[in-house]
Amino acid sequence: MTTLSERISQSAFDGSRLRVVLLLDLHEGAQQDFLEAYEHLRNQVASVPGHITDQLCQSIENPSQWLITSEWESAPPFLAWVNSEEHVKMVQPLHGCVRDTRSLRFSVLRETSNIASLVPEPPKGRLQANPRVGDGVVRHALTFTVKPGSESMVAEILAGYTSPEARVDDTTRLRRTSLFMHGNRVVRAVEVQGDLVAALRHISQQPEVRAVEEAINPYLEQDRDLSDPNSARVFFTRAALPAVHHVASGGQQPDGIRRHALYYPAKEGCGMALARMLARQDELAADDPSCPVAGSTIFQRDDVVVRMVDLRIPVDSDPMLSLGVRGPRKTAVLRRLIDTDVAGGLSNDREIARFLERSDMALITDRRAPGA
């Protein structure tokens, strides 16, 4: 069995309470507008399922620095809300007040309370049972669609750019960028050692990346103007495809591992449940030292579910293992959660192999930084 200390793991599905910390730097003179926008926002957030409480704080050293903390019963309801179109519209009034923001999310592992001040009702949600072992790498993805018929042109543009400088600063560097396409959908996954926000800003400022972004603009289904900060912010907010689960065997990975990204067409409203089921299967696989899955990352937003998997074997040599399901019972669960009108049936080995073939996204580029 693989012990806790031998594998890398992160997950939004452990059921523990979530603490969200939002750091804000306001424009001078914007405090009153910000407070009015926050009052409206907090009344809406209070009605979101899974929300427990939030606090607004102002720095005692720099009045332009503010902090919003919120607590949630668990990560899934927060992720469902923060990735929703409702949230995009809800936070728009804040953008004109804020110079810079940074969002941090933490599972609650331990807590200390003054017993005399405890309320009779116990807190909702539970504490994280055990600490997870990380590797200092943050994983994130962006996804967007291009106009039908432009796929080959977009793939050529995305494959041909010069890699940006990997070093961001003394503590942050780009490790890997993997870019895939499935039909007219693009998925760009990045691995960053250090500060993800600093790395994404670094990438956006590189001339070779800006040239690529401008080159694909005419082919995007969602219009954007990268010279307009609000337009760019809305686009990348909608394009965010968070990593909700990652597991990998610890230590140096051997040569010969191939990376694939599998696209799962979830039924409407089933994206989170599908991602959770795949996460459980990957956790079980990580406990099996003979399993040829070296690591997997599940990205999910609404009903877009992508599982990026590193395999020691060809992807089609064991279709069920590559898809992240073991046995007929889990295959039946997968069948209930995916849109079979799009994916086809999963009633026999042949249909499973066809589904894997359709799900396996086309690899456009997979670039590692030196030493990564």
Give 47-104 pLDDT, tens digit per residue: 999 999 999 999 999 999 999 999 999 999 999 999 888 888 888 888 889 988 899 9
Structure tokens at 231: 């337009």
pLDDT at 5 over 50: no
Cβ atoms 267, 303 nearer than 8 A:
yes
CA 7/CA 246 separation, integer angstroms:
10
Quick one: which of 220, 15, 221 has its CA closest to 107?
15
pLDDT at 161 over 50: yes
**Residue 68: DSSP 8-state:** E
Quote the pLDDT of residue 303.
94
Give 309-323 pLDDT, tens digit per residue: 999 999 999 999 999
> What percentage of the chain has pLDDT greater than the value 70?
94
SS3 (DSSP) at 201: helix
Give 204-262 pLDDT, tens digit per residue: 888 888 999 999 999 999 989 888 888 888 888 899 999 999 999 766 666 789 999 99
Quick one: which of 173, 283, 259, 156 has its CA closest to 215?
156
Strand-pairing partners, residue 146, are 220
CA 64/CA 324 separation, integer angstroms:
48
Quote the pLDDT of residue 122.
53
Quote the pLDDT of residue 86.
87
CA 184/CA 147 separation, integer angstroms:
7
Mean pLDDT computed over every residue of the chain: 89
Task: Give the 3-state secondary structure percentages of the chain, helix then strand then coil, rounded to 5.
Answer: 35, 30, 35
Cβ atoms 182, 264 nearer than 8 A:
no
Cβ atoms 300, 242 nearer than 8 A:
yes
CA 142/CA 187 separation, integer angstroms:
6
pTM of the model: 0.90
User: CA angle, 4 as apex, 308 and 108 as ends, to 5°?
Assistant: 85
Quote the pLDDT of residue 4.
45
Q: In what order do the strands lie in the sheet with 18-26?
A: 51-58, 65-72, 18-26, 98-107
What is the arithmetic mean of pLDDT over 8-35? 93
366, exposed or middle or buried, with CB in 10 Å at 0-12, 13-18, 19+? middle
Structure tokens at 181: 């396409």
Question: For residue 317, how many C-alpha atoms fall within 13 Å in the half-sphere facing its CB?
Answer: 7
Alpha helices in the chain (DSSP H): 31-45, 75-82, 85-90, 92-95, 151-159, 196-205, 207-216, 229-239, 271-286, 319-323, 327-337, 340-343, 349-359
User: CA angle, 342 as apex, 327 and 277 as ends, to 5°?
Assistant: 35
CA 235/CA 150 separation, integer angstroms:
19
Give 118-130 pLDDT, tens digit per residue: 555 555 677 887 8
Q: How many other CB atoms are found less than 10 A from the CB of residue 20?
A: 18
For tokens 């089921």, the residue is 277
CA 119/CA 250 separation, integer angstroms:
42
Q: Which domains does the chain have, with CATH numbers?
A: 8-105 (3.30.70.100), 135-366 (3.30.70.1090)
Quote the pLDDT of residue 118.
54
SS3 (DSSP) at 271: helix
